Structures are given as structure tokens and as C-alpha cells.
Amino acid sequence: MRILNVELITVRLPLVAPFTTSFSTQTERTPLLIKLTAEVEGSEVVGWGECVALQDPLYSEEYLDGARDVLRRYLIPLLYLWQDAGNTLTAEMVGHALRHIVGHRMAKAALEMAVLDVQLRASEKSFASYFGATTASVPSGVSVGIADSIDSLLGTVGNFVDQGYVRIKLKIKPGWDIEPVRAVRERFGDIPLQVDANAAYTLLDAPLLRQLDAFDLLLIEQPLGEDDLRQHAVLARTMRTPMCLDESIVSATAAADAIALGAAAVINVKPGRVGGYLEARRIHDIASANGVAVWCGGMLETGLGRAANAALAGMPGFTLPGDISASDRFYRLDITEPFVLDAGRIAIPSGPGLGVAPLPEILKKVRVHSETVAP
């Protein structure tokens, strides 16, 4: 393929309700979309990518304006250089072509996703078949933010259980951990339940965290800091609840290290966090080879990222339900046809590429910024 131009489009989507984690309360999402137009064997093909960087660097060091800047000034120009030097541009070469730029994984992931979408649309192949998905739909879990009160938390969880979500993840932080988990366990019996701390604790909290062992959780996600691989391994040895890592797993290398150290019995795979869907697939493969379960995380994606995540989660090593909820969990109005829950599952799109694209009328309505990076 030859890239003709790349448009960076920022959209603003209000959330149906505020989403509170240990690091922020989000009331809206401002994803950066990549519309990549390329020529493939004489035809013009458009592909889409979605950058999951948050507005502020609170989850990881990346943030919206930084991602836009590095895409505009470094990453997209590097792909132009790559093709001008006579190299063939494929999704499989994007990581290599961008390797001299340090970090910026979410920005790189979005660009690779757009190239992959073009490539697969042009060859009439779906993301699911490219990844080797072995199922047509995936079980749907839901992530429940920190609430104002236990009563309101129980109301929210009850609503999601009624909708058919097959697994509940509760966000926790110091001061909002044992009691909310106990209340949900008591009210909803043996539903599949797990917790996510987003790095809010230290190893000194081990005695407190061990109290969670009483609630038969599927896993505890990222209790300690991003860099605390060794400390996670120490904590894991003293808890019965399986240790799952999210923020710490920034690459296949990190996944291999975490597994070798005994820091992760489970891995949350987020393609943006690890630099792209191809690296995410490598993590799936490494984890499977080591008997470590993986599941697909979510970053409040629009239908674009949701489609790609669902396809990835169709791979056989994704043995736990992911944070792949219906679109209306976060958005009244998504930019694509919405994903809906059907008997606790989300269907994986089967059309070429992502199998979905932004609906032009909606995109026009929610777009707040757009710029074109030409060769």
C-alpha cells in the first residue's frame, strides 16, 4: 500500500454517567481517530485507527495532545519516509518502521491499527480471521467505577447483572475496597467478580489486600505501581487471589518478565497500552505458552476500538471475559453502529477490516478537531 494522507480527528463523546477510578473521574471521552487513506493496487482504501490515550497523563504517561503531536511530527512522517525509500508498507512492518521513537505506544498502536484496517479491507479479510479468532462472539464483562455509596454501587451492579453481563469488575482504591466487595458478594451471590486497583496500593498494604482472599475473586488487577514487578511477585506469593497485571505489561518483553518472576498469573491485554494489536497477539501467544490466562481490557473505546478488541478476544487464549461491554455502557451515541449485548455476549464483526466504520453524520456532529498530515 501507499499512504496518500492521514487525517487526525478528535471527537468528544459524553459518558452516560461519570466513571470514577482511583486516578480520575471521567465525564466525557475525547478519543483521537486516525483516518488513513491509501492506494492499494490502484484503488483508494480508507482505514481507521483509534488512539486510547486519555486527555491527561493519569493512567500512563501518554495523553491526547502528546499523542497527536508525536503522530503529526514523528510517527506519520516516518511511514512516509519508509514508503519513499521504496519499502513495502504493511501492518507487520509498522512497528519496525517506528522503532526509533521511544515509547508512545498508544499513538503507535493507533497508526498500526489504521494500516492493518486498510490492509485487511483491501484483501477482504476481517480482523477476526487475521488474528485467528475461533469464536463468533465473546463473553462480555463490565467495569464498575467507584461509587458515592455502597447503596448506589449495589444499584449499578444490579442493573448490569440484569442486563446479562457475565462478569463484574469493581474498581477499588484505599478506603473503597473490602466493604464494597463484601456488599456485592453478599447481595449477588457467586457471580464472577474481580477487582481493579489501578496501581493505588503499595506492598505495605499487603495485610489489607489479603482480606480480599475471603471473597473468591477471579483476580485482583494491578494493586501496585507500574514499575513494581518484583513487588507484585512478592505480594502474589502471599495472596490466594490470582494476581493480574495491567499497567505493568507494556510489551511482550514485560509480559515474559512478569511471568518468569511470578508477578502475573493472569494478564489484561490492552492493545493501546502495549503498542498495538500485533504486540497484543504476541502477549497472547507468550501467555498461552506459559499457561497464563489473558483477557482483553477496555479503555472506553468507540465502536472502532471495540470491534478490534472483540476480534482479538476471539483468540483461544482469551479464556476470561474481557472489558468488552455494549456501546451503551458508556455512550448514548457511538460513532459506529452500536455493539449490543446478546445473552451476555458481544458479536465479533465479520466484514472486511474492522467490519465497522464511523457513521458520517454522527462523526460530523461529535468532531472537535481535525487536521491532515500529508506526505
- Positions in the binding site for ligand NPG (CB under 6 A): 21, 54, 59, 143, 196, 198, 246, 297-300, 323, 325
Task: For ligand NPG, give the closer residue by CB, 63 or 188.
Answer: 63
Torsion of CA 66, 68, 69, 75, to 10 degrees: 110
**Residue 254: other Cβ atoms inside 10 A:** 20
What is the per-residue burial (b if ≥16 Cβ within 10 Å, else e) of 205-240? bbeebeebeebebbbbbbbbbbebbebbbebbeebe
Cα–Cα distance for residue pair 166/172, rounded to 1 Å: 20
Task: For ligand NPG, give the closer residue by CB, 119 or 309.
Answer: 309
Task: For ligand NPG, give the closer residue by CB, 177 or 246.
Answer: 246
Q: Does the annotation count 364 as an active-site position?
A: no
Least Å from the CB of residue 58 to ligand NPG: 8
Least Å from the CB of residue 298 to ligand NPG: 2
Please give the order of strands across the beta sheet that includes 2-11: 43-51, 32-40, 2-11, 367-373
Phi, psi of 172 (to 5 degrees): -125, 160
What is the per-residue burial (b if ≥16 Cβ within 10 Å, else e) of 91-111? bebbbebbeeeeebbbbbbbb
CA angle (3 as vertex; 368, 338 as ends), nearest 5: 45
Least Å from the CB of residue 24 to ligand NPG: 8
Alpha-carbon torsion (42, 44, 45, 49), positive or negative: positive
Least Å from the CB of residue 143 to ligand NPG: 3
Least Å from the CB of residue 4 to ligand NPG: 32
Task: For ligand NPG, give the closer residue by CB, 287 or 300.
Answer: 300
Task: For ligand NPG, give the closer residue by CB, 119 or 198.
Answer: 198
Question: Which strand (E) or helix (H) includes residue 120?
Answer: helix 105-122
Residues 6+ positions from 111 with CB-CB distance below 8 Å: 6, 34, 36, 49, 71, 75, 76, 79, 94, 98
Catalytic residue among 35, 108, 169, 171: 171
Least Å from the CB of residue 79 to ligand NPG: 26
Catalytic residue among 173, 270, 364, 365: 270
List 39's β-bridge partners, or say none.
2, 44
What is the CB-side half-sphere exposure of residue 33 using CA atoms within 13 A? Answer: 28
Per this entry, what is the length of the chain?
Answer: 375
Q: Does the annotation count 171 as an active-site position?
A: yes
CA angle (321 as vertex; 203, 308 as ends), nearest 5: 105
Task: For ligand NPG, give the closer residue by CB, 116 or 296.
Answer: 296
Least Å from the CB of residue 60 to ligand NPG: 8
Phi, psi of 44 (to 5 degrees): -90, 130
Q: Closest CB to ligand NPG belongs to which residue?
A: 298
Task: For ligand NPG, give the closer residue by CB, 246 or 279.
Answer: 246
Phi, psi of 298 (to 5 degrees): -135, 155
What is the set of active-site residues?
Answer: 171, 270
